[in-house]
Amino acid sequence: MSLSQILEKAKQRAQDLNLPYAGALTPQEAYQVLQQAPQAQLVDVRTTAELELVGRIPMAQHIEWAFYPGMVPNPHFQNQLAQQVDKESLVIFLCRTGGRSHNAAVLASQMGFTEAYNMLEGFEGEATPEMRQRCRINGWKVADLPWTNA
């Protein structure tokens, strides 16, 4: 699928879901965008603890949405985002399951980022209903996309 087709699909998905940002991408689509648009930026908003314990995506920038323990909101998130990411860039936000990254994409749009996308499913994906285990149904890791524990 071409870059324009992927982005059009993501924009339509956001419109269908009434999301206040440019688009919503699956992990596979996000990876394709990053491969086809080298200027695109991936921003991981998970905690440092999550990156260290669960894994990280080598190509991602890291700006914590909240701090562990306690999930205390990062009061500097907006300033850090403005300093590290160009407002004209296509930026994809990700977290564990898509919730914090949704909030980051909303805020980025309010800040004037016109190409802010949320990565649905997140790094670990949904938890299984029976055992509440992640990394089994969907998400970046289940899609077998590049990540590391290092």
Quote the CA–CA distance of 147 and 6 in Å, as a whole number.
22
Domain definitions of the chain by residue range:
3-119
Q: Is the peptide bond before 69 cis (omega within 30 degrees of 0)?
A: yes
Sheet order of strands, 23-25 included: 23-25, 116-119, 91-94, 41-44, 61-62
Quote the CA–CA distance of 30 and 42 in Å, as a whole number.
9
pLDDT in tens, 44-72: 999 999 999 999 999 999 999 999 999 99
Neighbours of 44 (CB within 10 A): 28
Residue 128 identity: T
Looking from the CA of 44 toward its CB, the CA atoms found within 13 Å total 23
The pLDDT value given to residue 128: 75
Give mean pLDDT, residues 67-94.
97
Percent of all residues in the chain with a pLDDT value above 70, rounded to a whole number: 97
Lookup result for tokens 């399951």? 97
The pLDDT value given to residue 130: 75
pLDDT over 90 at 131, yes or no: no
The pLDDT value given to residue 150: 65
pLDDT over 80 at 98, yes or no: yes
pLDDT over 80 at 136, yes or no: no
Give mean pLDDT, residues 112-130.
92
Give mean pLDDT, residues 107-112.
98
Give mean pLDDT, residues 86-102.
97
Q: Binning pLDDT at 50, 70 and 90, where does residue 143 land?
A: very high
Among 3.30.110.60, 3.40.630.10, 3.40.50.2020, 3.40.250.10, what is the CATH number of 3-119? 3.40.250.10
pLDDT in tens, 27-42: 999 999 999 999 999 9
3-class state of residue 112 by DSSP: coil
